[in-house]
Amino acid sequence: MKQPLLNRFIRYVKIDTQSDEASTTVPSTKKQFDLAEKLRDELIGLGADAVELDDRCYLYAKINSNIPKDHPAFGKTPKIGFIAHLDTSPSVTGKDVNPRVIERYQGGEIRLGNGYTITPRENPVLDDSLGQTLVTTDGTTLLGADDKAGIAIIMTAAEILKKSSGILYPDIRIGFTPDEEIGRGAAHFNLKKFDADFAYTIDGGPAGEINNETFSADSAVVTIKGRDIHPGEAKDVMVNAVKVAADIIAHLPRDYSPETTSGKEPFIHPHHVEGQVGKAVIKFLLRAFDTDTLVRQKKRLEDIIAEVGRDYPAAGIHLDIKEAYRNMHEVLATLPHICDYLESAVKRTGLTPKWVPVRGGTDGSGLTAMGLPCPNVFTGGYNYHGQTEWVSVNIMETSVQTLLHLIDIVVEAAPKSSLYQRRLL
């Protein structure tokens, strides 16, 4: 399995699919179709059913069940889906990715070039990766394991199902989405067309880590209107929007940021600033594991704006907050069998499953809210969204095995499960 999986992954990461937060189109970049079209053709070549790429770059496919009529599970299995996203982060370029393959990693630092190094101090999991096949960048781009590792894992599992005569499987649904990295992946996902009872996003990280809890997220934009005038005539007239923006950022609590928090601690993160004297804009990420904290974060920003505004009474300061996604845990907690299946599948691979809250979001956050429960599965990728991104092919292989075990478990459980439980949604 490993070499075909690696070859597939290398092909995918060389295709630039970076999304664009500033774009208003769907998808945000046309180049996401470059990968989607190749995947469509590959799925057709594998013999998948009902393969369809829509005009918004959502790719759907089905693998119809092969359970024989005389089997106890016939007609009783739920339809399960596997989902990954096509785009890569806008944070670092995904153009001209030059992946480097390290066979049988021997330990120590990994020098990438362009001044970047992957160190065991910052990546302690490297100590558990000895002898594994790793893929890194060359230091000039991100790698794209987020989430092309997930795509490669799903495609490899699909190929195994179609080529093996010894595996029984229920109706399988496959979905690949655009624009996940900019929070829009679930926005135009067609649940009716996908036609699954529940699904799993393959968009995680370290070996054995699985996720049924994510941040709840809002985005905030502060727009500051100043007044520009020649500096030589500025006294008592100029209103410098850049200074107002700087003061707003300076008023943020230093212990309430991504670089000072972990676990389930929330944060307010100013991630983009642009401006001139006459106008400045600050974009914030608001993140918490419960909605009440997001409400308090909005109030905190409002209080900061009011305080700074008293020092700049002639400035116009406007706050706009939009909902991004919500923690999927509340829904998944009511459907424990979906997570139980996944936990048991990880155990069958020989790994110890670890339920870890995601300090971020997945397409599963939005899809769960829309009515399609979606826990998240590990891929073996690390250091996402940057030049030091890397992935273990061995762990990708274990993720494929997890999906295959998951399929086995669903078939085994079907004769014992009530129709109500399977069709609860």
Q: Mind listing the pLDDT tens digit for each residue in 94-116?
A: 999 999 999 999 999 999 999 99
Strands 198-202, 80-85: pairing kind? parallel
**In the prediction, which pLDDT does 27 show?**
98
Q: Is 195 known to be catalytic?
A: no
Name the catalytic one among 87, 146, 159, 209: 87
pLDDT at 168 > cutoff 90: yes
pLDDT at 371 > cutoff 90: yes
**In the prediction, which pLDDT does 194 show?**
98
pTM of the model: 0.89
Query: How many C-alpha atoms does 42 have within 13 Å on its Cβ side?
Result: 18
Residue 25 phi, psi dihedral angles, 5° rounding: -85, 165
Query: What percentage of the chain carries pLDDT values higher than 70?
Result: 98
CA–CA distance, 377 with 364 (Å, rounded to integer)? 11
Query: How many C-alpha atoms does 293 have within 13 Å on its Cβ side?
Result: 16
Amino acid (one-letter) located at 410: V
**In the prediction, which pLDDT does 424 show?**
38
8-28: average pLDDT:
97
pLDDT band at 418 (very low <50, low <70, confident <90, very high): low
Neighbours of 324 (CB within 10 A): 20
198-224: average pLDDT:
96
pLDDT band at 423 (very low <50, low <70, confident <90, very high): very low
**In the prediction, which pLDDT does 417 show?**
67
165-191: average pLDDT:
95
**In the prediction, which pLDDT does 422 show?**
40
Which has the closest alpha carbon to 383: 206, 256, 207? 206
Torsion of CA 139, 27, 175, 332, to 10 degrees: 90
246-254: average pLDDT:
97
Which has the closest alpha carbon to 309: 369, 414, 226, 383? 226
pLDDT at 232 > cutoff 80: yes
The CATH label, of 3.30.70.360, 3.40.50.80, 3.40.190.10, 3.40.630.30, for the domain at 216-324 is 3.30.70.360
**In the prediction, which pLDDT does 1 show?**
82
- Superfamily grouping for domain 2-214+327-422: Zn peptidases (3.40.630.10)
Name the catalytic one among 147, 179, 180, 197: 180
Q: Is 103 known to be catalytic?
A: no
pLDDT in tens, 338-363: 999 999 999 999 999 999 999 988 99
Residues of the chain with CATH 3.40.630.10: 2-214+327-422
Q: Which two tokens stand for residue 138?
A: 């060359």
CA–CA distance, 119 with 137 (Å, rounded to integer)? 14
63-92: average pLDDT:
96
CA–CA distance, 161 with 155 (Å, rounded to integer)? 10
**In the prediction, which pLDDT does 360 show?**
84
267-286: average pLDDT:
97
Residues of the chain with CATH 3.30.70.360: 216-324
CA–CA distance, 90 with 296 (Å, rounded to integer)? 29
Query: What percentage of the chain carries pLDDT values higher than 90?
Result: 93
Cβ–Cβ under 8 Å, residues 413 and 21 = no
